[in-house]
Every structure is written in structure tokens, then in C-alpha cells.
């Protein structure tokens, strides 16, 4: 196995000409790559084109410019005669990602609607007490952030932050920043969130290894972020935003009333904390057990059974069925209520899946055209470790255009050839994904929707959001990457 910090060996790119290619060989392909990335950033940042459309358009442009024929890109009417690069790229990644994201989204919705987040936060607040309320909020974000999207976590948990800050009379930053750190870490580093799942599919990494390395790299990162939160929260005072308190309560009451009117969510007893933890922990334990069994057990019936239940599709399905029963049917929900909540939760997933799929197309075009190999040759010549390159590319894309998902899927397509030629272990590849994910959350600023969500939900001025949230994300990013880089020396 090559040394972890060595770049992968490279081959000469297969294409040296194209419709728009003005230079020969590697120089021409690199020119196409640079222009393609510049075009992508221009379409997203200036034209404000939807990222899915931008990625697809740039993929087609790069493919044609680098020498792919129309038949190679799109196939033919007789599909058996040629393989469509676009279709294979889209289908290859979505076949892995769509099921996991869909199941994880429905699981998070049931936990949210059932009141699991409120129970979790309230119990932790009672255990840790008022003095350690920021830690309780941080742990709430960390645990509840595993199955729910970042923006959903803010919507559900923001009122709890308001209440804690109001009781103490202290800056809202002391309570919201630890919460945000937990939500952001799980969103960036842990399955079933789209970023790490998409990267795992693009780089061919077992999800168990991604989960394990996400925990190992993410926990130190979130601890560093909590230290920063405690420090900055005592230096900048932000009052509880009363208008958001009232708006949040009105929204929650309206949602509850609407669901009750539709017969979706009847009045019910509070959820038991143990139930919430068991449901969230079930897929994590099963997936990790399957990963370890493949390492420590010889092929046997026992290992096959463990690997079956630890398959991400099976593990998440079991967790979802548990949630349906324990949080729904057993507490008076009807089957139509479960169906309505599950279906509603999938509506925002379409955009995510299309962006991830277009990222798969971009990666497939880079590989088929030889652009990716030319990039591999160039990066190899720079002498930088592949894990450092992965982080820097993702970081630059993130800062430039704001979307973490776009940064991850684009970076994964670029660095895949650096990894495909070498015999890297699954553990090392998972650490590369951690580096990519870490880069994708660096320095959230005004071109990131999350920046404005944090600013408006917690009543923080733009200037103070840059001083707090933007720095918090950078701390998470650098700390997570540092752990991944150090671990890569030993796997």
C-alpha cells in the first residue's frame, strides 16, 4: 500500500483534442478544467442559476471541450450501442445515495414531529442544570443533528435556545453557538446526511468507515467549536430576538393545528428520552457492527447476518420502522398520519438529490474525457498530499460559491482519479472524505444560505454573524481536517 500522504500514480490522459480545445495534451485539458470550474462559479454566483442546472451545463461543456463525442455524452437512440456518460454518472451515484437520504429524511421527520427534540433538550437541561445549559444545547444539537437536516434542526430547536437565554439573561450566543456546532458537525461529517453519503458513493467507500471516521474526526472538532462558543459568547452580547420568539411560537402552533385538523398528529404523551436515543442509535450501531465484523470475523453465517442488518439500507429501514411504531402507532398515530408526515418530509429532498446526481455526472465526464487524469498528473507534480489537496479544493469551492453540497460533489469528482490508481485502504479513503467535508463548511459567509438563517433566527447582526458563526464554522473545519490529516499517517 502506498504511503497515505503520497499522491496516486497517474497515466497519460486518453483525450488530446476536442470541439473547443485550443491546446494539446495535458495543458489543454487543464485549461478546460479551469474554464469549467470558473464557468460553474460564474453560473451559480453571478447568473444565480440553480446548482443542478449549472453542474449539468458545465459537465456537458467540459465533456465536449475535452473531446468526448455527442454519442459518448448522451448515448444513442439504440441504448445498447453506446454508454451515456451523463446517464451512467447520474445513475451510479443516485443508486447509492437516494435510498439512504430518503430513509434518513423520513426518520428525522418522525423524530421532529413527535417532539423528540424537545424531550431530548429538556432532559439534558434538567441533567446539566442552568450553569451548564450551553453544554446541554450543544449535546442536543449533536444527537438530534444525526437524523435531521441542519435547517430543520434550527427551526425545531431555536425556541429552546430562546427560552434558555431568556431565563439566564445572558447572550443568546452562549446557547445557539454550541447548538449550531453540533448540528453543523453532524451535517458535514456523518451519514445519512447528503454530503458524506454522496462523497462515499463517488469514491466507493463503505458507509461504515465514513460513519466511524466521521465520529472520530467530528467529536474533537465540535469540542473545539464549543470552546470557541464559550469564549465568544461571553464577549459579544446578543439579546433574545423577541420577534423571532413570537413568530416561532405562532408557526409551531399553526403547524400543530393544521396537522390535527388533517388528522395527522393527534394529541399525545411526551416521548421517552430512551426511545429517542434508541431510535437514533440503532442504525449507527448496526452499520458500525457490520464494518467491524468484516475486519475481525472470518466469513461465517454470523458475519453474514451482521453484515445484512448493518447494510445502510436495512439499518435505516429498521430504524424508520421502529420510529413508526414507537413514536407513532403506539402513541395513537394513524397509518395515514405516518404516511402524510413521511411524504411531506421528502419534498425538499428532490433538489438535494438532483445536485448530488449532477455532481456524479460532472465526475463521470471528468473521468471519461481525461480531464480528471490531467488534474491528477498536475496535483501529483505539486507534491502535496492527496488529503491536503482534497481539503483545499473543497475549501476554495465552498468559499467561492457557498454551497457545501456543490463543494463536496465537485471536489470528489476531481480527486477520485488521485485515489483510483492506488491501493488505499477504506479507512484512508474515509479520511479523505472527512477532509472534503471539512473543507465544505469553512468560513460560511454571505453567499451561504446558512449564514442568513443563523443571523435572522437568532437576531445576530451581519457583522457579529461574521465574527461568531463564520469563525465557528472555520474552527470546525480546521479542527476536523487536522484530526483527519494526523490519522491518515497511521491507516
Least confident span in 315-319, 321-325, 359-363: 359-363
To the nearest whole percent, how much of the chain has pLDDT over 90?
A: 41
DSSP code per residue over 326-384:
IIIGGGT--HHHHHHHHHHHTTTHHHHHHHHHHHHHHHHHHHHHTHHHHHHHHHHHHT-
How far apart CA 391 and CA 181 sit, in angstroms, is 19
Does residue 58 surpass a pLDDT of 50? yes
C-alpha grid cell for residue 53?
442546472
Does residue 264 surpass a pLDDT of 60? no
Tens of pLDDT, residue by residue over 353-386, are 888 888 888 888 888 888 877 777 777 777 789 9
Kindly list the domain boundaries of the chain, sorted by start residue: 93-345
Which alpha helices (DSSP H) does 169-272 contain, by range?
173-189, 194-203, 207-233, 242-261
C-alpha grid cell for residue 407?
463543494
Most confident range, picked from 116-125, 320-329, 335-344: 320-329
How far apart CA 103 and CA 246 sit, in angstroms, is 33
pLDDT band at 4 (very low <50, low <70, confident <90, very high): very low
Least confident span in 151-160, 232-241, 256-265, 471-480: 256-265
Cα angle 350, 449, 205; round to 5 = 55
Amino acid at each position: 500500500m502506498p504511503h497515505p500522504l503520497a499522491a496516486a500514480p497517474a497515466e497519460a490522459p486518453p483525450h488530446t483534442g476536442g470541439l473547443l480545445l485550443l491546446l494539446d495534451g495535458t495543458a489543454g485539458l487543464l485549461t478546460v478544467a479551469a474554464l469549467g470550474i470558473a464557468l460553474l462559479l460564474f453560473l451559480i454566483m453571478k447568473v444565480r442559476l440553480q446548482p443542478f442546472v449549472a453542474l449539468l451545463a458545465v459537465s456537458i461543456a467540459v465533456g465536449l471541450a475535452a473531446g468526448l463525442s455527442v454519442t459518448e455524452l448522451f448515448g444513442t437512440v439504440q441504448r445498447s450501442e453506446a454508454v451515456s456518460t451523463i446517464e451512467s454518472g447520474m445513475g451510479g451515484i443516485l443508486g447509492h445515495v437516494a435510498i439512504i437520504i430518503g430513509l434518513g429524511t423520513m426518520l428525522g421527520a418522525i423524530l421532529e414531529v413527535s417532539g423528540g427534540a424537545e424531550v431530548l433538550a429538556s432532559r439534558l437541561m434538567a441533567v446539566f442544570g442552568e450553569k451548564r445549559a450551553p453544554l446541554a444545547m450543544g449535546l442536543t444539537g449533536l444527537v438530534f443533528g444525526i437524523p435531521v437536516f441542519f435547517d430543520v434542526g434550527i427551526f425545531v430547536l431555536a425556541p429552546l435556545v430562546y427560552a434558555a437565554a431568556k431565563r439566564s439573561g445572558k447572550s443568546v450566543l452562549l446557547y445557539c453557538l454550541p447548538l449550531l456546532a453540533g448540528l453543523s458537525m453532524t451535517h458535514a461529517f456523518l451519514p445519512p446526511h447528503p454530503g458524506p453519503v454522496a462523497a462515499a458513493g463517488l469514491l466507493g467507500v463503505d458507509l461504515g468507515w465514513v460513519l466511524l471516521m466521521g465520529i472520530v474526526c467530528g467529536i474533537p472538532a465540535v469540542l473545539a467549536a464549543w470552546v470557541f462558543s464559550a469564549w465568544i459568547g461571553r464577549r459579544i452580547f446578543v439579546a433574545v430576538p423577541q420577534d423571532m420568539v413570537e413568530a416561532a411560537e405562532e408557526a409551531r402552533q399553526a403547524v400543530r393545528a393544521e396537522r390535527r385538523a388533517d388528522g395527522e398528529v393527534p394529541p399525545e404523551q411526551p416521548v421517552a428520552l430512551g426511545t429517542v436515543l434508541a431510535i437514533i442509535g440503532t442504525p449507527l450501531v448496526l452499520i458500525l457492527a457490520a464494518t467491524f465484523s468484516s475486519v475481525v470475523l472470518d466469513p461465517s453465517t454470523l458475519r453474514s447476518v451482521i453484515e445484512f442488518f448493518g447494510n445502510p439500507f436495512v439499518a435505516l429501514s429498521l430504524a424508520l420502522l421502529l420510529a413508526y411504531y414507537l413514536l407513532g402507532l403506539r402513541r395513537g398515530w394513524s397509518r395515514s398520519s405516518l404516511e402524510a408526515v413521511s411524504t411531506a418530509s421528502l419534498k425538499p429532498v428532490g433538489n438535494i438529490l438532483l445536485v448530488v446526481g449532477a455532481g456524479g455526472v460532472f465526475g463521470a465526464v471528468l473521468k471519461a474525457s481525461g480531464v480528471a487524469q490531467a488534474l491528477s498528473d498536475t496535483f501529483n507534480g505539486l507534491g502535496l498530499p492527496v488529503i491536503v489537496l482534497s481539503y483545499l479544493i473543497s475549501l476554495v469551492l465552498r468559499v467561492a460559491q457557498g454551497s457545501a453540497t456543490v463543494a463536496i460533489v465537485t471536489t470528489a469528482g476531481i480527486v477520485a482519479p488521485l485515489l483510483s490508481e492506488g491501493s488505499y485502504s477504506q479507512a484512508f479513503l474515509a479520511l479523505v472524505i472527512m477532509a472534503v467535508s471539512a473543507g465544505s463548511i469553512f468560513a460560511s459567509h454571505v453567499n451561504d444560505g446558512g449564514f442568513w438563517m443563523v443571523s435572522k433566527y437568532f437576531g445576530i447582526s451581519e457583522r457579529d454573524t461574521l465574527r461568531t458563526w463564520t469563525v465557528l464554522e472555520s474552527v470546525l473545519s480546521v479542527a476536523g481536517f487536522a484530526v483527519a490529516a494526523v490519522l491518515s499517517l497511521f491507516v
